[in-house]
Chains A and B, each alone.
Chain A
Amino acid sequence: MRVSSIQTVTDIRAAIQAGVTAVEICQQFLDRIASHDGPIHSFTHVSADRALKHAAAVDRRGPHYPTLPLAGVPIAVKDNICTDGIPTTASSRILDGFVPPYDATVVERLTHAGAIVLGKTNCDEFAMGSTTEHSVSGPTKNPWNLDRVPGGSSGGSAAAVAARLAPLALGSDTGGSIRQPAAFCGVVGLKPTYGRVSRYGLLAFASSLDQIGPLALTVSDAAILLQVIAGRDPNDATSANVAVPKFEAALGDPLASPTIGVPWRILEDGVDPSVSSAFSAAIDVLETAGATIVDVSLPHTEYAVPVYYLVAPAEASSNLARYDGVRYAYRAPNSGADTTLGHLYNRTRHDGFGDEVKRRIMLGTYALSAGYYDAYYLKAQQIRTLIKADYDVAFKRVDAVAMPTTPTPAFKLGARTDDPLQLYVGDVFTASANLTGLPALSLPCGRNGSDLPVGLQLVGRAFDEGTLLQLGLGYEQQAPWWLDAPPAAAITRT
């Protein structure tokens, strides 16, 4: 295999078996970033020297290194995940110049597995957004069409994988931030069950919703990455003490006759016709491959957006209180007559946070403030219980619930920047998995007439990522959309 045609982890494993070094593979991806990331802007920081040094260390392990699950596999890491010695800003001005003094648990596990961190990827500020336009370093573009958004907030990670600039990437998903950009960019994205992956070292947005997860070109690559990052971590008390199955091995042993539920009722309104037709075709493929398709009812899912946009901002308003100009990075310069500490906080947060972050901090502060708590926050938490109950009923009959990942394909840059509510409503199919903690997989299921990808989403039982990966692989084998690379990619189909 030529190094220049490497795309997946499977390719890299074969290349290393054939004698290619980790340094050669690393250099190949660094070269692709240098030559192709300019117009896409998926990376905000490329740590080339460090990556090559780590690759050389993997090579020095000699005959043992191929036994590591990600030996010599380059990976891109979303900029809200701490990397020791590599700047981590969550695409916010308020963290300009912040260099974490420690690695997130997921990054530590990647290093132990032989993976090579290439750099940090662009995102919406503090992971708040679904376009990657709310970034202090400017927007990421969709590799399928540079006039379109890549989705968000993990838009840099999704675009980097789609453009073949990294075989794997880490994202984080609070209301759809892995799955929605995966759908817009035509790659695989998985939000694990809440608690499956440690959040230690993830810059907290909404602590009861955030999960780190994989983005990859193929389902089996996503399974390999999940395997490495999953499992209990003493540094995250909310990481679950639940056994981690052998995801990759289980892929070869698919469910004999799975049952998949489709909530047809909630797909009747507000879904773009090109998304509906790609989704229906994907359901037909799953049925032909042996799945039984049944109708399920998720009556409270239509309230997932307002519930999510009360719960998540409420948690964010608390989590982001720590950015005050005292302990980390940016501090606003003194101005005017008021030189008190309170004024320093107010100025720092005014200058340091972008509009979307301010909106959400204020929304959350309002929902938690005296006199409004019961009407907004408590009410949202109660409806969260009802959304969860709908899924509990559905999972008595089905192994997974299928729906489109997003109601529309990628839209134009700038199209929704002045209309936050319209952006929020786009999270209608993704937010319920975070509110319930359930795992959810998005995989490419076709492209519309403008050659923009459409995503199929499968939601599973708690801690049953294995079933989602098996169903996803079954679909991918029938419909390998990932083989087509986007026009802006570093390599096209070989």
Chain B
Amino acid sequence: MSPVSTILTKTDVKRIAALAHLELSESETERFTRQLDEILTYFDRLKQIDTTGVAPTTHPVTSVPVMRADDPHLSMPRDKAMANAPDSDSTGLFRVPKVIG
């Protein structure tokens, strides 16, 4: 018997997918709900650890912020930078569908 979903529902997965701009089919939603729920259930063991007062580590090697001299320099030519765009025009614009439906 498969475990009962305790953390994540299909509604949650649909909400997350919308936040991440991912379209999911119904069968994908079902599969990801099962897999992500299993993963998050496994992660529950982190609750066993008391982290009161422990500072979070966001970066493995602590160092001072790096500054560089603010000198002007040539950047990559625009047409080269845009060469990989699926749809752009010669004036340096990306062409996209209308934003508001």
Contact = CB atoms under 8 A, between A and B. Distances in A.
A binds B: yes
Given A194-B60, A381-B57, A369 B23 contact: no
Contact of B56 (A341, A347, A385): A385
A180 interface: no
Interface residues of A, number: 73
Contacts of B39: 309, 363, 420-421, 424
Contacts of B98: 339-341
B101 interface: yes
A155 interface: no
Nearest to A207: B59
Contacts of A340: 97-101
Contact of B57 (A309, A317, A324, A384): A384
Interface string B42-78: 1101110101001111111101011010000000100
Interface residues of B, number: 52
Contact of B16 (A193, A310, A369, A420): A369
B60 A99 contact: no
B46 A362 contact: no
A213 interface: no
Given A326-B85, A366-B12, A382 B42 contact: no
A208 B58 contact: yes
A325 B97 CA distance: 11
Contacts of B51: 379, 382-383, 386
Nearest to B22: A349
Contacts of B21: 321, 324, 342, 345-346, 349
Interface string B13-45: 100110111111000100010011011101101
A49 to B, nearest CB: 21
Contact of A338 (B47, B60, B101): B101
B20 A303 contact: no
Contacts of B85: 326-328
B22 A388 contact: no
Contacts of A306: 42-43, 45-46
A-side interface mostly:
helix
Contacts, number: 165
Interface in A280-327: 300, 303, 306-307, 309-310, 317, 321, 324-327
A95 to B, nearest CB: 9
Contact of B84 (A327, A342, A358): A327
Contacts of B38: 421
Contacts of A365: 16, 19-20
B13 to A, nearest CB: 7
A349 B17 CA distance: 10
Nearest to A435: B60
A365 B20 CA distance: 7
A303 B45 CA distance: 8
Contact of A437 (B24, B40, B60): B60
Contacts of A358: 22, 24, 28, 32
The 3 A-B residue pairs with the shortest CB-CB distance in the complex, in nearest-first order: A437-B60, A381-B56, A331-B86
Interface of B: 8, 12-13, 16-17, 19-24, 28, 32, 35-36, 38-40, 42-43, 45-47, 49, 51, 54-61, 63, 65-66, 68, 76, 80-81, 83-87, 94, 96-101
Given A101-B76, A195-B61, A209-B60, 14 more contacts: A101-B80, A241-B66, A334-B97, A339-B98, A341-B98, A342-B99, A359-B36, A382-B57, A383-B51, A384-B56, A384-B57, A421-B39, A437-B60, A438-B60
